[in-house]
Amino acid sequence: MKIRSYAGITNPSFLLVHSELPALTFHKPKLTWTSTLRVPRNYERNFGLITRVQCSVADRTFASTSVSSSASKPKSVRLGRKQDDSSSLYSRPSLLEMKKERMANRAKVYEFLRGLGIIPDELDGLELPVTVEVMQERIDFLHKLGLTIEDINNYPLVLGCSVKKNMIPVLDYLGKLGVRKSTFTEFLRRYPQVLHASVVVDLAPVVKYLQGLDIKPNDIPRVLERYPEVLGFKLEGTMSTSVAYLVGIGVSRREVGGVLTRYPEILGMRVGRVIKPFVEYLQGLGIPRLAVARLIEKRPHILGFGLEERVKPNVESLLEFNVRRASLPSIIAQYPEIVGVDLIPKLLGQRSLLQSITDLGPEDFGTVVEKMPQVVSLSNTSMVKHVDFLKDCGISSQQVRDMVVGCPQVLALNLDIMKLSFDYFQMEMQRPLDDLVAFPAFFTYSLESTIKLRHKIVAKKGFKCSLSWLLNCSDEKFKERMNYDTIEMEEMEMMPSFDMNSLMEPRSNESDSEYEDSDDESI
């Protein structure tokens, strides 16, 4: 007799559990049947029901276990793997431990920086290298660029820049543009933020914008060297509005490139706070707006003179030194730098010197400044040499004073040329010294192209005239005078003076866009 038993949960397609018992003998069988169903609580969800069948026949016991899924073996394998993984998680550091480790590494980096004299207080929120070795690499690279510990302390955030990802790409780009390596140190001292910039996103668009303002490609490196901060400006912000305002007041559009090349700081000036108040103040003094525009074209750096801090106090100082208010427009138009220098010490020094070598009075000094405002910047040695030369010519101290008041330029002209002109005056023209005292501007005219040529023509005509009538006119006017039968006295009394209208004449075809290292001209 065979007894077969089946237990478990079946699937329509196959029998999940199949247990078969061996054949039993017919002699007094003792059959005991036991069937139990156990569902372990922790496996029920993942592995279904497990049926255990026990059968005892003739003191022999057989057991069969079934699982309600055909993939019992693979699942049991996965179970084992999961148990291994679960146990391995406990061997890894927790988030708290990882945080402690990072804090420990940062503490080591901070200790290293403090040892070098770097104050890391501003670096708390910055991502830094986790090792001292990487930080050492960054500092060494900055040292190679010429930056000192003091420079790093001035902008410690530079330590957050990667050498390979930030510093090298930026410096390579600047080098390809033409920025000289010798200027990198000063460049980074002025604008270390450039090391955080993206070449493609931040730097290249600014360079393209500058080129669009008619700054020549060859001048771009000089512009960046002079004003590296421009690389941090927004294209449609201050830069565009400042340029638009200048064009609006009369700055020639074709001169914009040259203006910005010589003084790129204009790109960072706010119109409402800096440029417009400056322009309106000069207009209020009596300088026409178009003349102001021409001054900016020629001397764009005057926009950098602090209006409240320097310009207005200097104008008041001029008035205190007996300069007439009506002369202020002419003074500033001739020498705009006069409103930007530390003026009072210069005025005091020059007045004192001229008083000692020419007996010049305070009111006379005001007249000298009106006629030649550059006098405030002349060196003492130069003025003394020129006064000594005039005295050596036989001119008295009183006459020298009159000459200086009449034509202060005699204090600044080339001495060698003055000597040649005086020799011709004395030997060929054979005029009395009083003629020279009466018209000291004689020394300002070209000896070869003007003085000699006109003297010969007048001598041939047999005219007796003053030096002023002879020289103080254009070539066209001189030809006209040669047709006169007599000499008009009012023309003899003409003296050279600055004409504001000359400043507003149309610009020549030559552009001032070529880069200049200095805006100041020597006297």
From residue 310, alpha-carbon distances to 287, 306, 340, 493 in Å are 18, 5, 6, 38
The C-alpha atoms of residue 207 and residue 123 are separated, in whole angstroms, by 31
pLDDT recorded at residue 87: 47
Q: What is the pLDDT of residues 372-405, one digit of tens each?
A: 999 999 999 999 999 999 999 999 999 999 999 9
Q: Which residues, including other chains, have CB under 8 Å from residue 451's CB and lie 6 or more apart?
A: 421, 424, 442, 445, 471
Tokens of 207: 């360079």
Q: Which residues, including other chains, have CB under 8 Å from residue 347's CB and lie 6 or more apart?
A: 317, 318, 321, 369, 376
From residue 496, alpha-carbon distances to 326, 327, 464 in Å are 17, 15, 21
Which parts of the chain sit beneath pLDDT 70?
1-93, 98, 485-499, 502, 505-523
90, 65 in Cβ contact below 8 A?
no
Name the one residue in this structure whose structure tokens are 């138009």.
333
Paired with 61 in beta bridges are: 56
Q: Taking Cα atoms as reference points, which of 465, 493, 497 lies closest to residue 481?
A: 465
SS3 state at 414:
coil
Q: Where do runs of H (alpha helix) occur along 393-446?
A: 397-406, 415-424, 433-438
pLDDT recorded at residue 496: 53
Q: Taking Cα atoms as reference points, which of 126, 132, 125, 127 lies closest to residue 110?
A: 132
Indicate the burial class of 508 (C-beta count within 10 angstroms; 0-12, 13-18, 19 or more): exposed
pTM of the model: 0.72
pLDDT recorded at residue 121: 83
Q: What is the DSSP string of 187-254?
A: HHHH-GGGGGS-IIIIIHHHHHHHHHTT--GGGHHHHHHH-GGGGGS-TTTHHHHHHHHHHHHT--GG
pLDDT recorded at residue 46: 45
69, 75 in Cβ contact below 8 A?
yes
The C-alpha atoms of residue 484 and residue 479 are separated, in whole angstroms, by 9
305 φ, ψ to 5°? -70, 125
278, 295 in Cβ contact below 8 A?
no
| pLDDT more than 90, % of the chain | 61
